[in-house]
């Protein structure tokens, strides 16, 4: 069934000078509906796309967010902040709303909690829904890269661990936030011990956070990690699994989420910024920047072009080095690669002004103003 969509709005009311509200709405995403034959119901999704999605041809990694009703707003806010500071790439976010959270996110029934949570045990079907129905629809409808992140908290963290153990190649990274690993007598922790008994040529990074005030949860998370570390995949010829555990002080089970999302996404893309940019440009010019992104592309498994900020900074550095002909080439590339960017046009105007070419500078400034308007 095709996705049906409506706008998801965050309404803000800027005041006019007479004190009246304009009623301007700021859109942060849209609601889409997909029918699931596996779950035998319609499921609502909250979809976020990067601000330039409609005006670019770029393909983006996708974050799949469990418990979207609770976590969508601040997750997309954290992503926007990190992207604006060039710490991570822009992401599409697919938030999955709940219908029966206990049924979907817990893969087993627990005899100790059968009376209070009788519908538990449908996690296998929920994982099938994501793999066989949801992801093919997202792949068809959106411009995405073959790099997926699963984000789950509490019972959602249980689902993230379960997904890793039974479908390890479905996601390339998982952010597991204060997971309820006590479920079913720590069944997932025990199953993790057997994970590397059979070869698994998969590349996956699990970032696991836990509320440091809960000693039981901390111990369970470390046990899970140690079971996954038991056979070090870095010693084999096949790609391996990275697992990091991060206990966090000063949080509760409910408030750990924002810090986990912010820190976890940074960890997944910890090498996104170019180190020693000045040295790279001085030694290799813009080609040195391109080589950095070629290496980055090999790591993440999809083509990553040089970012707008990196190309702009390379031009500025070449100007400072008085390598003006090279700088002009970079400026022209900046505009060709990012034709819809006001910042790119403005940066090129700045560059030509510093070169003393005021007519060219004026031309780009005027184009920037026209684009901004």
Considering Cα of 113, then 116, then 118, then 123, what sign does the dihedral take? negative
Measured CA to CA, the distance from residue 178 to residue 176 in angstroms comes to 7
Q: What is the CATH number of domain 4-268?
A: 3.40.50.1820
Distance CA 122, CA 105 (A): 7
Position 269 scores a pLDDT of: 95
> Where are the CATH 3.40.50.1820 domain residues in the chain?
4-268
Q: Which two tokens stand for residue 313?
A: 């900074």
Band the pLDDT of 199: cuts 50, 70, 90.
low
pLDDT at residue 16 tops 60: no
Which pLDDT value is given to residue 7? 57
How big is the CA angle at 37 (ends 114 and 131), to the nearest 5 degrees?
A: 85
Over residues 85-97, the mean pLDDT reads 95
Please check whether residue 199 is in contact with residue 238, taking contact to mean a CB–CB distance below 8 angstroms: yes
Query: Mapping DSSP to helix (H, G, I), strand (E, B) and coil, where does residue 38 land?
Result: coil
| Least reliable range by pLDDT among 159-163, 279-283, 336-340 | 336-340
The whole-angstrom distance between residue 318's C-alpha and the CA centroid of its chain comes to 32
Residue 75, pLDDT > 70, answer yes
CATH code 1.25.40.10 region(s) in the chain: 277-372
pLDDT at position 110:
75
Q: Is the pLDDT assigned to residue 195 strictly greater than 90? A: no
Give the DSSP H/E element, type plus range, for residue 47. strand 41-48
pLDDT over 50 at 14, yes or no: no
Query: Where do the H-state alpha helices sit in 91-202?
Result: 101-105, 123-128, 135-141, 155-166, 183-192
How far apart (Å, rounded) are the C-alpha atoms in residues 241 and 250?
Answer: 29
pTM: 0.86
Span 258-302, pLDDT tens digits: 999 999 999 999 999 898 999 999 999 999 999 999 999 998 989
pLDDT at 2 (0 to 100): 56
Would you state the pLDDT for residue 216? Answer: 87
Residue 114: pLDDT over 90: no
Quick one: tokens of 94? 């697919």
Does 277-372 carry CATH code 1.10.357.10? no
């Amino acid at each position: 069934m095709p996705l049906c969509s409506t706008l998801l709005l965050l309404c803000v009311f800027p005041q006019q000078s007479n004190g009246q509200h304009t009623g301007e709405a700021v859109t942060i995403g849209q609601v889409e509906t997909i029918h699931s034959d596996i779950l035998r119901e319609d499921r609502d999704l909250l979809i976020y796309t990067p601000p330039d999605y409609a005006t670019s041809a770029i393909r983006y990694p996708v974050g799949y967010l469990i418990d979207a009703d609770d976590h969508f707003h601040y997750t997309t806010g954290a992503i926007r902040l990190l992207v604006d500071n060039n710490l991570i790439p822009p992401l599409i976010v697919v938030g999955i709303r709940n219908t029966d959270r206990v049924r979907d996110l817990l893969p087993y029934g627990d005899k100790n909690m059968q009376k209070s949570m009788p519908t538990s045990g449908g996690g296998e079907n929920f994982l099938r829904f994501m793999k066989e129905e949801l992801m093919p629809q997202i792949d068809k409808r959106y411009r995405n890269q073959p790099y997926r992140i699963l984000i789950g908290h509490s019972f959602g963290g249980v689902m993230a661990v379960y997904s890793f153990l039974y479908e390890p190649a479905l996601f390339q990274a998982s952010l597991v936030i204060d997971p309820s690993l006590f479920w079913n007598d720590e069944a997932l922790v025990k199953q993790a011990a057997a994970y590397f008994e059979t070869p698994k040529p998969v590349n996956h990074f699990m970032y696991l956070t836990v509320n440091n005030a809960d000693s039981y949860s901390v111990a369970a998370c470390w046990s899970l990690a140690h079971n996954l570390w038991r056979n070090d995949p870095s010693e084999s010829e096949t790609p391996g699994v990275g697992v990091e555990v991060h206990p966090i002080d000063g949080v509760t089970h409910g408030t750990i989420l924002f810090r986990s999302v912010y820190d976890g996404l940074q960890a997944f893309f910890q090498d996104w910024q170019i180190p020693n940019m000045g040295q790279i440009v001085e030694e290799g010019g813009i080609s040195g920047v391109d080589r950095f992104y070629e290496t980055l592309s090999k790591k993440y498994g999809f083509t990553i072009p040089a970012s707008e900020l990196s190309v702009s900074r390379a031009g500025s550095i070449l100007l400072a080095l008085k390598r003006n002909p090279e700088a002009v080439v970079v400026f022209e590339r900046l505009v060709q690669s990012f034709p819809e960017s006001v910042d790119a046009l403005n940066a090129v105007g700045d560059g030509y002004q510093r070169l003393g070419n005021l007519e060219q500078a004026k031309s780009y400034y005027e184009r920037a103003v026209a684009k901004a308007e």
